[in-house]
Structure 1
Amino acid sequence: MVNLGDVFPNFDAKTTHGDFKFHDWIGDSWAILFSHPADYTPVCTTELGRVTKLVPEFNKRGVKLIALSCDNVESHKGWIEDIKSYMKDQGDFPYPIISDSDRSLAVSLGMVDPAEKDAAGLPLTCRAVFIIGPDKKLKLSMLYPATTGRNFTEILRVVDSLQLTVNQKVATPADWVNGGDCMVLPTIKEDEAAKLFPNHKTIPVPSKKPYLRITPQPK
């Protein structure tokens, strides 16, 4: 298992774009590794197809994308043609898919879904999302069951929050979207907050504790 803040494992990746070390592929970029239960399945087809449409948005944010399942590379390559047909896009498939046929990554990263098994009775990968920073450390992880497709627009929103808060002394509130108001970190003393965020305001609450401080999103 990898915890938040841990360096993500530098595993050997066998993919539809060739073989490489994972850290070499990340380089100095942000990266998202997301797994799916199996090729040639309906929800997975909609998910990986949706990601192909969002690649330009991830590119704007300097984020590389890579998928993974327990199927082999040849299976991935055949299924890609179905995804392209479903999306009505016959261009090159824009991101690699990792083969984890021996399930070593799925087990080591805690991505196994015990409720979903293949024809041989072996467990499949869940719908995991790992966001990894340029420092190769895990910034966020999410696990979904096989029955629930992911909202990749939400994952874009999360990337925006991570990239903002890594450089600014703010946090993003519930339902925040890029450009919205932020929260001043509780660890920032008021005199420092006044200098950093001259337009911030404190919301009064019955406890009279001045912890709800809102500021326009810093540039």
Structure 2
Amino acid sequence: MPRILLVEDDEVIREATQMALERYGFPVDTAADGLQGLERFRAAPPDLVLIDVMLPLLDGVGLCRRIREESSLPVLMMSARTEAVDVVSGLEAGADDYVVKPFEIAVLVARIRTVLRRTGPVPAPVPETVAEAPPPGRSAVRVIDDLEVDTDAMEVRVAGAPVPLTPTELRLLLEFTAAPGVLMERQTLLSRVWDYSWDADSRVVDVHVQRLRAKIGAGRIETVRGFGYRLRRVP
């Protein structure tokens, strides 16, 4: 089973969450503050980090940023604060998703499994119109202006320079490059990229699009106000 690092300063919540996750079969390591969480992440990288936003010494947003500087492993934020600024701050720091306290443990486990599944090997989406397969031995490379996406090697380059993306960002870019110029509604992206069959928070999509724009170029992805996004076609 995937191993989880749980970083939570409240002892009662930490122990109860650890015991509940272990009953579902997850091995769980714990830390009581942000600095301890960073040390344990570095000493034995887990498969997923579950971080409370409000932590002593180094808060959850800061911890997430430090982890993202070193790894693209899945990060799930926990918070009792649901204000937009708190949710967005966690996502902008590099979190893949967030869950609001108090939560049912079954809901938390479902979110953990979804994030782990989503950040595993990235399959290339199949566009509605399937292009002719490339000759054997050659990569299937999608080229939009100076943006190149190698769907065999799962590598991205802009003007020939490699661009490191998290698995979630890569899945998002694959959806856009599969259909340049086609409108992608937020709920469609939540379903295809985040694997959510329920009505999830569209801020997750908005912040990930912002992060992707920062890496591949702000002008490549257009906002269609009130609907979603689309990748600019090459003139």
Q: Which has the larger radius of gyration?
A: 1
Relative to its length, the structure with more strand (as a share) is: 1
Q: Which has the higher contact order (CA 8 A, sep 6+)?
A: 1
Q: TM-score, normalised by structure 2?
A: 0.28
Q: TM-score, normalised by structure 1?
A: 0.29
